[in-house]
Amino acid sequence: MPQIIFLPHDELCPEGKVIEAEPGVTICDAALANGIEIEHACEKSCACTTCHVIVREGFNSLEESDELEDDMLDKAWGLEPESRLSCQAMVSDEDLVVELPRYTLNQVSERH
């Protein structure tokens, strides 16, 4: 079973975390099932960017993002070439190393 290695994040998983995930489950669902409270304001319907993650390793094992996800990602804080919406990125048969961005668009707007 593939592993998802979450890099340390000050609030969501300060120590980092390694979890096992069934192929076909989304990164978001795997995280939530293992106590990593990734924000998902649109209830995982690909209508916001709050579950944005950066896939540092294993990115090419994921199915390509579709146009809707790409349009949403364009609005994400801290967008990088390996960015995905965790509610849309499904685990395949390779391990992943995932970074949770420091902020989400919701958090940035709440601070202003």
Complete domains list, the chain, with CATH: 3-111 (3.10.20.30)
E strands present in 21-111: 52-57, 83-85, 96-99
Query: pLDDT tens digits, residue range 46-87?
Result: 999 999 999 999 999 999 999 999 999 999 989 999 999 999
Query: Does the model's pTM come out above 0.85?
Result: yes
Neighbours of 8 (CB within 10 A): 12
Q: Kind and range of the H or E element at 110?
A: helix 105-111
